[in-house]
Amino acid sequence: MLVNTTYVRVRYADTDKMGITYYSKYLEWFEVGRTEMLRDIGFPYTQLEKEGIGLPVIEAYCRYHRAATYDQLLRIVSAVKTLPRVTIRIEYKIYNEQQELLVDGYTTHPFIGKAGKPVRAPKALLEVLQPYFKADPLDLPSEADARRGANGKNGKTG
Amino acid sequence: MLVNTTYVRVRYADTDKMGITYYSKYLEWFEVGRTEMLRDIGFPYTQLEKEGIGLPVIEAYCRYHRAATYDQLLRIVSAVKTLPRVTIRIEYKIYNEQQELLVDGYTTHPFIGKAGKPVRAPKALLEVLQPYFKADPLDLPSEADARRGANGKNGKTG
Amino acid sequence: MLVNTTYVRVRYADTDKMGITYYSKYLEWFEVGRTEMLRDIGFPYTQLEKEGIGLPVIEAYCRYHRAATYDQLLRIVSAVKTLPRVTIRIEYKIYNEQQELLVDGYTTHPFIGKAGKPVRAPKALLEVLQPYFKADPLDLPSEADARRGANGKNGKTG
Amino acid sequence: MLVNTTYVRVRYADTDKMGITYYSKYLEWFEVGRTEMLRDIGFPYTQLEKEGIGLPVIEAYCRYHRAATYDQLLRIVSAVKTLPRVTIRIEYKIYNEQQELLVDGYTTHPFIGKAGKPVRAPKALLEVLQPYFKADPLDLPSEADARRGANGKNGKTG
């Protein structure tokens, strides 16, 4: 599993007259979450675009547990739980400074190529992602793993 | 069922560098849809607020079929399919000028009273809504309905 | 002078925790104003773009007199006071339903061609604009005008 | 003079179909600039609000020199050049990673008290601000200063 944590500060611009964050803003923060996740693994979204791949959204879901209020520093946790094939699904949880869950949700994105047609996840991205989807690093390595030299990337998900 | 149709024009501000509408904007247009629906039945959201009731969002879902592009005049169809009790669920479909479905989705809202606590749907609102959940006026009432003196579809939402 | 009037409704999304419209939203409404003005004279912005011309903003100014509040129907008056050459300047006034002035301001836009370089206002646009910059139709035509057959376009602004 | 530097990353949500940042977004970033400036001097905007003071905007100006593009990390420099009395004026410059000036502008804000009426800048804020408007501490006081008792206001315009 690939997991990333990043932070956003609630702006006045994000609030509405109910005194809380307007409900569509969380989708912007989901964008911040997945963008920083891709940057963090060394495959920023700008590189995907340079290779002619776009990741439009085909599905978005958001459950609102508690309101984010002005000036709070929010923690965005983004996760990819299965290696993408023709789509990538990212799950999000957003917490306030008291570590209360404010929102959870997900977005689903196809990989779209230069011709505007769906394509498979690019190999270069899969190579970067694969280590995160190896066995749980706390599991004892299998004999096979031990023989291969138990790839060092497991630690990344630890 | 309560159904409403309203229109929005895609602004430059709504688009992103992919040349299409940014995915969170549809949630704003869902807001336009439900606001105009409430206004249309003579119970505008401002009146709800005057009576101390708010309708924050606890759930939002959006499926993106086709992109809305700049300057298109979009048709928003909003629907309430069951009479609300402690929450109201609104479904949306957004179409372009060629009547192609762009997005569908829903939002769910609790009724929140002055103390910030969930309350039942206010009576005044229910009275306005109820006629939309009666049997189809083109249906002939069944004998059973006639005997009860009320249309049979009430049970559906009960 | 070219003048156009159009309307927007204040959304929940436009408000902030002060209970009023967030200050950057008026710039979006300025966009609505100038877009509808161009559409109204038969030269929509989409046509400009088709001809390879863009109108990015190089200057924007906004003075806030009164707050626009939720659900108000605002009147946007946009005006071009001088025939554009290499830039076009649009002035705006936004009023509430009581005809109180909420905001006034302006934006300035160069005409940018396909190569990303400034160009002169396209001829086709100028031809459409010129009638609005003739003498005030209530002025008595000068002798010269009379000889030319007093420009027929006066009716457009009448 | 009070000066603060902070950073924002350009989101997909901030861009438009021209491929660049939509022009109203810079006003949101001006908000980020002044918010971080107030936080930095130990007088966050939330504290002002707790004391019943609001800072609505009465004027905003923006000049656009170069476009901010997707994923750039922008530097926002905010400055207050004169000690506020009944209004505070903040100037902004936004730079890209190549230190090219993208946008400059300003906002003006009255201090509004609980009754919704303009008030003077609160004493507690002025006490925090005053040190920034003293003469440059590295300057040797002139004889004239020394005679006048070197009142700190000289620095105001310096």
Name which of A38, A35, A29, A37 is nearest A8 in CA terms: A29
Q: Which fold has domain B2-148?
A: Thiol Ester Dehydrase; Chain A (3.10.129)
Say whether pTM exceeds 0.90.
Answer: no
Residue of A nearest to C70 (CA): A17
Confidence check: pLDDT of C61 > 50:
yes
Tokens of D84: 């506020």
Quick one: pLDDT at residue A143?
A: 55
What Cα–Cα distance (Å) separates residue B85 from each residue in A29, A64, B46, B89, B109? 32, 19, 20, 10, 11
Cα–Cα distance between A153 and B107 in angstroms, integer?
A: 41
Contact of B60 with B105, CB cutoff 8 Å: yes
The per-residue DSSP string of C102-121 comes to EEEEEEEEEEE-TTS-EEPP
Inspect the interface and report whether the beta carbons of A35 and D71 lie closer than 8 Å. Answer: yes
Averaged over C74-81, what is the pLDDT? 98
Residue of C nearest to A18 (CA): C17
Inspect the interface and report whether the beta carbons of B46 and C12 lie closer than 8 Å. Answer: no
Confidence check: pLDDT of B76 > 70:
yes
Inspect the interface and report whether the beta carbons of A17 and C12 lie closer than 8 Å. Answer: yes
Give the DSSP H/E element, type plus range, for residue D38: helix D25-40
Q: Considering only the C-alpha atoms of chain B, give the largest distance between any 2 of them, rounded to a whole number of Å.
A: 62
Name which of A76, A78, A74 is nearest A15 in CA terms: A74
Task: Please state, rounded to an integer, the average pLDDT across all residues of chain C.
Answer: 90
Quick one: pLDDT at residue A140?
A: 56
Confidence check: pLDDT of B27 > 90:
yes
Quick one: pLDDT at residue D134?
A: 81
Beta-carbon count within 10 A of A134 CB:
17
pLDDT band at A54 (very low <50, low <70, confident <90, very high): very high
- The better pLDDT of the pair D45, A136 is held by D45
Averaged over A29-48, what is the pLDDT? 97
Cα–Cα distance between D40 and D78 in angstroms, integer?
A: 12
Residue from D9, D14, D37, D43 to probe the interface with A (highest A Cβ count within 10 Å): D9
* Residue spans of alpha helices (H) in chain B: 25-40, 45-50, 123-129, 143-148, 154-157
Residue from C12, C15, C16, C24 to probe the interface with A (highest A Cβ count within 10 Å): C16
Averaged over A58-67, what is the pLDDT? 98
Bridge partners, A118 (sequence order): A112
All structural domains of chain A with their residue ranges: 2-148
Task: Please state, rounded to an integer, the average pLDDT across all residues of chain B.
Answer: 90
* Residue spans of alpha helices (H) in D80-122: none
How many helices (H) and strands (E) would you count in chain A? 4, 6
Q: Residue A103 in 3-state DSSP?
A: strand
Q: How far is A42 from chain B (nearest CA, A)?
A: 22
Inspect the interface and report whether the beta carbons of D60 and C64 lie closer than 8 Å. Answer: yes
φ and ψ at A105, to 5 degrees? 175, -175
Quick one: pLDDT at residue C123?
A: 95
Cα–Cα distance between D81 and D117 in angstroms, integer?
A: 25
Taking contacts as CB-CB distances below 8 angstroms, the residues of chain C near D60 are: 23, 60-62, 64
Chain B (62-101) residues lying within 8 Å, Cβ to Cβ, of chain A? 62-64, 67
- The better pLDDT of the pair D140, A43 is held by A43
Residue from A27, A50, A58 to probe the interface with B (highest B Cβ count within 10 Å): A27
Quick one: pLDDT at residue C142?
A: 54
Taking contacts as CB-CB distances below 8 angstroms, the residues of chain B near A23 are: 27, 56-57, 60, 107
Cα–Cα distance between D154 and D158 in angstroms, integer?
A: 7
Q: How far is D19 from chain B (nearest CA, A)?
A: 4
pLDDT band at B121 (very low <50, low <70, confident <90, very high): very high
Quick one: pLDDT at residue C151?
A: 44
What Rg do the C-alpha atoms of chain D give, in angstroms? Answer: 18
Confidence check: pLDDT of C139 > 70:
no
Contact of B20 with B65, CB cutoff 8 Å: no
Taking contacts as CB-CB distances below 8 angstroms, the residues of chain C near B12 are: 31, 35, 45
Taking contacts as CB-CB distances below 8 angstroms, the residues of chain A near B61 are: 59-62
Query: Looking at this predicted complex, what is its ipTM?
Result: 0.85
pLDDT band at B134 (very low <50, low <70, confident <90, very high): confident
Q: How far is D46 from chain A (nearest CA, A)?
A: 8
Quick one: pLDDT at residue C130?
A: 95
Tokens of A91: 């799950």
Give the DSSP H/E element, type plus range, for residue D34: helix D25-40
DSSP code at position B158 = -
Cα–Cα distance between C133 and D143 in angstroms, integer?
A: 62
Inspect the interface and report whether the beta carbons of B15 and D13 lie closer than 8 Å. Answer: no
Inspect the interface and report whether the beta carbons of D20 and B15 lie closer than 8 Å. Answer: no
Residues A66-107 pLDDT 10s = 999 999 999 999 999 999 999 999 999 999 999 999 999 999
Tokens of A131: 């280590």
Inspect the interface and report whether the beta carbons of A71 and D46 lie closer than 8 Å. Answer: yes
Q: How far is B32 from chain C (nearest CA, A)?
A: 7
Is any Cβ of chain D less than 8 angstroms from the Cβ of C20?
A: yes
Spell out a b/e string for C127-138, using b for 16 or more CB atoms within 10 Å of the CB, else e.
eebebbbbeeee
Is beta strand D73-80 parallel, antiparallel or unpaired with respect to D87-95? antiparallel
Give the DSSP H/E element, type plus range, for residue D30: helix D25-40
Region of poorest pLDDT, from A13-17, B102-106, C113-117: C113-117
Residue from A11, A50, A57 to probe the interface with D (highest D Cβ count within 10 Å): A11
Is any Cβ of chain C less than 8 angstroms from the Cβ of B40?
A: no
Averaged over B68-84, what is the pLDDT? 97
Is any Cβ of chain B less than 8 angstroms from the Cβ of D21?
A: no
Residue of D nearest to A56 (CA): D12
The per-residue DSSP string of C15-67 comes to B-TTSSB-TTHHHHHHHHHHHHHHHHTT--HHHHHHTT-B---SEEEEEE-S-
Question: Interface partners of A (3+ CB pairs, < 8 Å)?
Answer: B, C, D
The owner of tokens 């707050």 is: C67
Residue of D nearest to C26 (CA): D24
Residue of D nearest to B16 (CA): D16
Residues in chain C: 158
Spell out a b/e string for A103-125, using b for 16 or more CB atoms within 10 Å of the CB, else e.
bbbbbbbbbbeeeeeeeebbeeb
Quick one: pLDDT at residue C86?
A: 96
Contact of C91 with C110, CB cutoff 8 Å: no
Q: Which residues of chain D have pLDDT under 50?
A: 149-158
| A13 closest CB neighbour out of C19, C20, C22 | C22
**Most confident by average pLDDT, B129-138, C8-17, D130-139:** C8-17
Quick one: pLDDT at residue A134?
A: 81
pLDDT band at A158 (very low <50, low <70, confident <90, very high): very low
Averaged over C85-100, what is the pLDDT? 98
Bridge partners, A47 (sequence order): none
Query: CB under 8 Å to A79, separation ≥6 — which residues?
Result: A1, A2, A3, A4, A90, A91, A92
* Residue spans of alpha helices (H) in chain A: 25-40, 45-50, 123-129, 143-148
